[in-house]
Amino acid sequence: MPYDSEVFAAALRRVEQRRAQAIQENERIKYELYKKIPRLAEIERELAETGIKVAKEILNSSGDTSSKLEKLRSQNLSLQAERAELLVANGYPKEILAINYFCPKCHDTGYCGDSVCDCLRALLREEACKRANAGSPLPLFTFDTFDLSYYPDEHDDRFDFNVRWHMEKVLNHCKNYAADFKHADTSLLMLGKTGLGKTHLALSIANAVIEQGFGVVYDTAQNIFMKMEDENFGRSDKKYTFSVFDCDLLILDELPDYASPFAVNTLYNIINTRMLHHRPMIVSTNLTEKELESRYGERIFSRLIGEFKLLKFFGSDIRQLKLRRKANC
Ligand SMILES: [Zn+2]
Query: If you measure from the C-alpha of residue 214 to the centroid of ligand 1, how many angstroms do you get, rounded to a whole number?
Result: 15
Query: If you measure from the C-alpha of residue 79 to the centroid of ligand 1, how many angstroms do you get, rounded to a whole number?
Result: 30
Q: Are strands 111-112 and 115-116 parallel, antiparallel or unpaired?
A: antiparallel
Query: If you measure from the C-alpha of residue 123 to the centroid of ligand 1, how many angstroms do you get, rounded to a whole number?
Result: 10
Q: Give the pLDDT score at 62.
A: 63
Buried b (16+ CB within 10 A) or exposed e, 152-170: eeeeeeeeeeebbebbeeb
Query: If you measure from the C-alpha of residue 16 to the centroid of ligand 1, how many angstroms do you get, rounded to a whole number?
Result: 11
Please say whether the beta carbons of 124 and 7 come within 8 A: yes
Query: If you measure from the C-alpha of residue 105 to the centroid of ligand 1, how many angstroms do you get, rounded to a whole number?
Result: 5
Query: If you measure from the C-alpha of residue 102 to the centroid of ligand 1, how many angstroms do you get, rounded to a whole number?
Result: 8
Q: Give the pLDDT score at 1.
A: 45
d(CA 263, CA 249): 19
Query: If you measure from the C-alpha of residue 121 to the centroid of ligand 1, how many angstroms do you get, rounded to a whole number?
Result: 9
Query: If you measure from the C-alpha of residue 101 to the centroid of ligand 1, how many angstroms do you get, rounded to a whole number?
Result: 9
Query: If you measure from the C-alpha of residue 215 to the centroid of ligand 1, how many angstroms do you get, rounded to a whole number?
Result: 17
d(CA 325, CA 329): 6
Query: If you measure from the C-alpha of residue 298 to the centroid of ligand 1, how many angstroms do you get, rounded to a whole number?
Result: 43
Q: Give the pLDDT score at 138.
A: 62
Query: If you measure from the C-alpha of residue 10 to the centroid of ligand 1, how many angstroms do you get, rounded to a whole number?
Result: 15
Query: If you measure from the C-alpha of residue 96 to the centroid of ligand 1, how many angstroms do you get, rounded to a whole number?
Result: 21
Query: If you measure from the C-alpha of residue 23 to the centroid of ligand 1, how many angstroms do you get, rounded to a whole number?
Result: 15
Query: If you measure from the C-alpha of residue 189 to the centroid of ligand 1, how many angstroms do you get, rounded to a whole number?
Result: 34
Query: If you measure from the C-alpha of residue 290 to the centroid of ligand 1, how many angstroms do you get, rounded to a whole number?
Result: 47
- Other CB atoms within a 10 A radius of the CB of residue 143 amount to 17
Query: If you measure from the C-alpha of residue 136 to the centroid of ligand 1, how many angstroms do you get, rounded to a whole number?
Result: 31
The 10s digit of each residue's pLDDT in 134-175 is 766 666 688 998 999 989 888 888 878 899 999 999 999 999
Q: Rounded to the nearest 10 degrees, what angle do helices 298-307 and 261-276 cross at?
A: 40
Estimate to the nearest angstrom the gap between the alpha carbon of 1 and the chain centroid: 20
- Other CB atoms within a 10 A radius of the CB of residue 182 amount to 10
Q: Please identify every stretch of the chain with a pLDDT value under 70, giving residue numbers as ranges.
A: 1-2, 61-64, 135-140, 236, 329
Query: If you measure from the C-alpha of residue 118 to the centroid of ligand 1, how many angstroms do you get, rounded to a whole number?
Result: 6
Q: Give the pLDDT score at 308.
A: 96
Q: Give the pLDDT score at 39.
A: 94
Query: If you measure from the C-alpha of residue 2 to the centroid of ligand 1, how many angstroms do you get, rounded to a whole number?
Result: 18
d(CA 158, CA 312): 14
Q: Give the pLDDT score at 324.
A: 76
d(CA 47, CA 81): 12
- Burial of residue 188 (CB within 10 Å: 0-12, 13-18, 19+) is buried
Query: If you measure from the C-alpha of residue 226 to the centroid of ligand 1, how many angstroms do you get, rounded to a whole number?
Result: 35
